[in-house]
Amino acid sequence: MIGSIVTTVKGHLQGTMENDICVWRGVRYAKAPIDGLRFRSPEPVDNWSGVMDAVDFGPVPPQPMDRAVRTGMSGKEKMDEDCLFLNIWSPRADDKKRPVMVWIPGGAYITGAGSLDMYNGHLLAKNGDVVVVSINYRLGALGYLDFTELAGEGEIFENNLGLRDQVACLKWVKKNIEAFGGDPDNVTIFGESAGGNAVTTLLTVPSARGLFKQAIAESPAPTSVYGKGFARQFSERFLEILGIGKGEFHRLKTLPVQEIVAASHQLLQENSQEMPGSLAFGPVVDGDFLPDYPLDSIRSGRTEGIPLLIGTNRDEATLFDQMDPPLIPTNTAMIHKMFENTDPKAKERITNAYTNYPEKEAVLGIGRDATFHIPSVWYAEAYSRFEKTWMYRFDYKTAAMRISKLGATHGMEIPFAFQTFDSAFGKRIVSYGSRSAALKVSHRMQGHWVNFAKYGNPNPPEGEIWPKYDETNHYTLIFDKKDYIEKDPDGMIRLAWEGVGIYK
C-alpha cells in the first residue's frame, strides 16, 4: 500500500504503508562514495525535484557474502559501492515526535547491512510507538583501513570512513526525522557486535556530540580500536595482497571493487590466525576525528551526560567456533598466541580462573571474555563513574539453541530486541515449538529497550526493576526464562582480567 509522502530538507520521499506502519526504504543520506569520493568523507546529498520512491532497500555495502548475510536478505538487494542508505519504520508521519532508535548493524566491520531481515523495525516501532532507523555504512578496506600515512603527496585519503558515515547518518536524522514522526532531540543509537563497538566509539567522537541522547551497546568489543601504528600493518599487508607498491596509490581509487572485497577477506582470514583477538578492520585513533582510545576517553571522564545500556551474551564464542577460521580465539593455540602477542605474564593467572570449567567451555569462555565481556565490563565500570549505566547478560536459550549447542550465542539477543522471529535467524531460534516462551522474553527485553529510548532509563515509570551498574555492586540484569538481578556475576573471573594488556 502506498504510504504518505514526506518532505525532507532536500526533497520529497514516497514510502509504503505495511500492516499499519509507515516504511521508507533505501533513503540516501549521503552522496555515492564512488569515483573521486572513494576513500573520502561522506558528503551531503543534493536537492532533488519531484517525489523520489523509497520503497525498496538500497544496495548493501561491498562485502564477502557469508551465509548469514545471504539468508538475511530478501533477494532483491544488490551489492554496490553506492551504499549509503538508511531505512525508516514509523507508526505515522505526523507531529507526535516519537523517540527515535537508530540501529547500527554489526559484522566485524566487513559484512552486514541495515536491510537484513532480523533488523526489520516493524514490530519494534509498532509495539513501542517509536521511530526505528537502520543504516548502512562502508565496510572492510573501503570503510576501515587507514592509508593516510602511506599515500603520496597530493593523494587524498581519509580515515575512519565507516565511522564518519555513521555520524553523517545521525546528522541526517537530526535534520529530517521530525518529518517521519520522530523527535530529533530524543535519538537513541543501538548496535550489536561491530555495531556495538560503533556505539561505544561514537560516545567519544566530538563530531557526534548532540546527535543522540541515549546509547545501547549489545555485545560490543570496546577495545577493538587501534592506534595508527598498529593499524598501519593492516593497510600495508592489504597493499601487498593487491600487489600495489609505493607510487601506485592512485590504483586504489580505480581498482574494481570486487578486488578490494577479495583482498579485504584475505586480510581478515590471515589476521584471525596471526593476531587472534584483534580485528583487521575497525576505528583508528587519529588524534582528530577520533581523539583517543574510547576506553581511555571514558576513564578520563570525557563523557557527555548520555545514559548507557551495555551487555553481552552468555555463550558469545560458540558461533565463532563454527567459523573457519574463527574471528575470535576459540581454541588453545589461538588463546596462547593471543597472550603471547599482548600480555604473556597474564596467561597463567587468566587460565587458572577457568579451572572449574570443562576444557572446551573454559577455552570458549576465555575467547568470549577477551573479546566481548571483559572489555564491556571495563567500559561499564569507567562509564558508571560519570554517567548512568545499566548492564545486562543474555542467558536465554531456546530448545533449538540447546540442541545445536550454540546456547545464548553471539547475536542471539537481536531477534528478541526486534521481535523478528519470522526472520531467517529468528525461525532457527524458535523452532521446536519455543516461540511462545521466546515471545515472553522478547516482550520484557523490548520493553526495557523502549523505556530506555523514551526515558533514558530501562525501568518502567512505575518502579525500579533493574538497578544501575557501579564499581561496587556490579548489578547485572540476567535475561532468561525468568529475568533476575545478579550482583557481580563471574566476579572472580572479572578480577583475574584486571590490568591485562590488549592490542593497541
DSSP at 441: H
Question: Residues 77, 192, 218, 316: which is the catalytic one?
Answer: 316
- Report how far residue 263's alpha carbon sits from residue 175's, in angstroms, rounded to the nearest whole number: 37
In contact, 188 and 214? CB cutoff 8 Å: yes
- Report how far residue 487's alpha carbon sits from residue 469's, in angstroms, rounded to the nearest whole number: 9
Q: What are phi and psi of 326, to 5 degrees?
A: -65, 150
Cα angle 99-211-305, degrees, rounded to a multiple of 5: 85
- CA distances in angstroms from 404 to 200, 310, 407, 485, listed in the order given: 31, 27, 7, 27
Q: Which of 189, 202, 223, 248 is nearest to 375 (CA)?
A: 223
Indicate if 193 belongs to the active site: yes
Amino acid symbol at 322: Q
Question: Residues 115, 193, 224, 264: which is the catalytic one?
Answer: 193
Indicate if 316 belongs to the active site: yes
Number of H helices, E strands in the chain: 19, 15
Contacts of 172 (CB under 8 A, 6+ apart): 29, 30, 86
Quick check: helix, strand or coil at residue 93? coil
Indicate if 498 belongs to the active site: no
3-state DSSP percent of the chain in helix, strand and coil, to 5: 40, 15, 45
Q: How far is CA 496 from the centre of its chain?
A: 27
- Report how far residue 163's alpha carbon sits from residue 167's, in angstroms, rounded to the nearest whole number: 6
- Report how far residue 94's alpha carbon sits from residue 342's, in angstroms, rounded to the nearest whole number: 53
- All three cell numbers of 284, joined, read 583508528
Question: Residues 265, 410, 448, 474: which is the catalytic one?
Answer: 410
What residues are annotated to the active site? Answer: 193, 316, 410
